[in-house]
Structure 1
Amino acid sequence: MGDLKLGKLPDRIPVKLTITIAPSLQRALQAYAELYRETYGQAEPVTELIPYMLESFLASDRSYAKALKNRPDGAARVDGPKSTRRKQRLGDASPPES
């Protein structure tokens, strides 16, 4: 059987994590959510913002990206359809990444 143009889809099953954070971080996250509401006119709970904040952080960390390039297993990358959905959902006017 030949190769299909569309590769195998990535794992899309969400993973739930439970973490404990300092009160100061909780206040900072609440302040960020409030600023988000003021900026975009739409309230989002902190729990909805955190995955996208983490994704953005990892995507912008050059040392992390460099380390991933050197891994033979091609460890999970923070890009692709999920990033595109985030931009569309958060109202980014830029075209989807290809």
Structure 2
Amino acid sequence: MARLKLGPILDDKPVKLTIELPATVHRDLLDYSRVHAAETGLGEPLPPERLIPSMVERFMGSDRGFTRTRK
């Protein structure tokens, strides 16, 4: 099985946002959640709203241009 970039999801105090996603992205998130649950040993897949913050955080952390400009 391929290793996912997203590791375990930690609980943190959330800030509520409302976003709209294309249906294709939502379906992909649901699929990703199922694969993530299987890879991390979770019984139930996490809902997409629990995955998105970690995905965005990882994306921004790996964006060298953002990291360089932010400093």
* Cα offset, 1:14, TM superposition: 3.5
Q: Which residue identity is paired with 2:20?
A: T
Count of residue pairs brought into register by the alignment: 58
Cα separation, 2, equivalents of 1:63 and 1:41: 34
Say yes or no: does 1:55 pair with 2:57: yes
Which structure has more relative contact order (CA 8 Å, sep 6+)? It is 2
Counterpart in the other structure of 2:20: 20
Deviations for 1:26-76, whole angstroms, at most 9, x for unmatched residues? 01111110110111121222111111111111111101001111xxxxxxx
Compute the TM-score of the two structures, normalised by the length of structure 1.
0.54
1:16 partner SS = coil
Unpaired runs of 5+ residues, structure 2, are 1-11
Compute the TM-score of the two structures, normalised by the length of structure 2.
0.72
Cα separation, 1, equivalents of 2:39 and 2:14: 28
Unpaired runs of 5+ residues, structure 1, are 1-11, 70-98
1:59 partner SS = helix
What's the C-alpha RMSD, in Å, of the aligned pairs? Answer: 1.6
Matches within 5 A, 1:1-98: 14-42=14-42, 43-69=45-71
Instruction: Please identify the structure whose Cα radius of gyration is greater.
Output: 1
Percent identical: 36
